[in-house]
């Protein structure tokens, strides 16, 4: 316990969060031998259908989809969907599966999450205010107050919760956990200490603000890691610099467990043609 604030012991360990778009990442390999066996007209038609559907679902009012060229065996086509609801994610998945070109794809992996803003700063302020106001943690009054605070934060942060897919050329995507290994157990650390580490971590991120658009999504309860990170940049080397620098933050050095990394190049107008050319 590095905190000597007695209030702290009475407040929740879990930080408040805000949730936005549901997100699905789909990674596909092209089954190129079957694809090449098709006649050229069939191929052209299927690409054309795929492009038109991608364009269409890429412009939904309630979210959008974007396609990337993946590099390597994890799959040369990555599709990212942002949607208002998980039901709409299900519908987007169905729309992709119904594409004729889908018969020539093999889904290698995917990731399901929901855009999340973690509120370590605000949580401690709110928790302390409520505790100082005499509300007891978990009571109906407490919960109503929290709900109301979250409501106003949600309204203020709507554009960050329900963003467009950033219009940058390169994508870096990876899921991650906070460790619970021996002495390095994030979930046993006092919330004030976690807040401090997340602040430091955020400081590094902000240094890259102009170069990288970062979208954090939460996947506890939805997929195999706890969080997922999407980085969008116009210079791919920035991904390495940012993630390397962050790795020395105590939040990462001591507590991050990283999943696989995926790299993508945003498909331009003729991107599908390039990937599917034989």
Active site residues: 174
Which range in 1-9, 33-41, 119-127, 155-163 contacts a second copy by CB under 8 A?
33-41
Pick the closest to residue 81 from 95, 69, 71 (CA basis).
Answer: 95
Interface with a second copy (CB under 8 A), residue from 4, 147, 248, 269: 248
Interface with a second copy (CB under 8 A), residue from 102, 128, 154, 168: 102
DSSP state of 102: G
Which range in 44-52, 59-67, 159-167, 247-255 contacts a second copy by CB under 8 A?
247-255
Interface with a second copy (CB under 8 A), residue from 141, 156, 244, 270: 244
Choice between 131 and 150, CB closer to a second copy: 150
C-alpha dihedral sign at 194, 196, 198, 200: negative
Cβ 171 vs Cβ 68: under 8 Å: yes
Tell me if 250 contacts a second copy by CB under 8 A.
yes
Tell me if 219 contacts a second copy by CB under 8 A.
yes
Tell me if 120 contacts a second copy by CB under 8 A.
no
Touching a second copy, residues 167-196 (CB under 8 A): 170, 172, 180-185, 187-188
CA dist 73 and 76 (Å) reads 7
- How far from 87 is each of 78, 93, 124, 182, 225, CA to CA, in Å? 20, 10, 33, 39, 21
For 116, the 3-state DSSP assignment is strand
Choice between 51 and 175, CB closer to a second copy: 175
Q: Which two tokens stand for residue 109?
A: 């992996």
CA dist 63 and 115 (Å) reads 12
Cβ 23 vs Cβ 88: under 8 Å: no
Tell me if 151 contacts a second copy by CB under 8 A.
no
Choice between 122 and 275, CB closer to a second copy: 275
Pick the closest to residue 71 from 201, 214, 172 (CA basis).
Answer: 172
Tell me if 76 contacts a second copy by CB under 8 A.
yes
Tell me if 265 contacts a second copy by CB under 8 A.
yes
**77-83/17-30 β-pairing:** antiparallel
State the nearest-atom distance from the C-beta of 243 to a second copy, in Å.
4
Interface with a second copy (CB under 8 A), residue from 30, 117, 192, 198: 30
Which range in 54-62, 107-115, 127-135, 155-163 contacts a second copy by CB under 8 A?
107-115
Tell me if 220 contacts a second copy by CB under 8 A.
yes
Touching a second copy, residues 52-71 (CB under 8 A): 69, 71
Sequence-separated (6 or more) residues with CB below 8 Å from residue 217: 23, 113, 114, 115, 116, 227, 228, 229, 230
For 87, the 3-state DSSP assignment is helix
């Amino acid at each position: 316990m590095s905190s000597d604030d007695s209030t702290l012991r009475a407040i929740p360990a879990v930080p408040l969060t805000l949730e936005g778009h549901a997100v699905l990442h789909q990674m596909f390999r092209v089954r190129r031998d079957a694809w090449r066996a098709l006649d050229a007209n069939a191929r052209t038609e299927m690409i054309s259908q795929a492009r038109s559907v991608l364009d269409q679902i890429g412009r939904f009012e309630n979210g959008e989809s974007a396609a990337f060229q993946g590099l390597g065996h994890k799959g040369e086509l990555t599709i990212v969907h942002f949607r208002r609801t998980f039901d709409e994610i299900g519908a987007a998945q169905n729309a992709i599966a119904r594409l004729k070109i889908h018969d020539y794809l093999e889904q290698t992996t995917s990731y399901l999450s929901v855009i999340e803003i973690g509120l370590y700063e605000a949580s401690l302020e709110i928790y302390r205010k409520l505790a100082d106001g005499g509300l007891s943690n978990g009571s109906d009054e407490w919960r109503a107050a929290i709900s109301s605070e979250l409501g106003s934060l949600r309204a203020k942060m709507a554009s960050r919760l329900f963003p467009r897919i950033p219009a940058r050329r390169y994508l870096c995507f990876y899921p991650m956990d906070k460790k619970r290994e021996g002495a390095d157990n994030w979930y046993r650390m006092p919330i004030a200490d976690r807040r401090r580490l997340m602040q430091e971590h955020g400081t590094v991120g902000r240094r890259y603000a102009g170069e990288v658009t970062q979208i954090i999504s939460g996947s506890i309860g939805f997929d195999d890691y706890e969080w997922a990170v999407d980085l969008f940049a116009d210079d791919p080397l920035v991904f390495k610099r940012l993630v390397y620098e962050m790795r020395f933050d105590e939040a990462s050095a001591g507590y991050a467990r990283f999943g696989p990394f995926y790299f993508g190049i945003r498909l331009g107008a003729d991107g599908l043609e390039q990937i599917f050319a034989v």
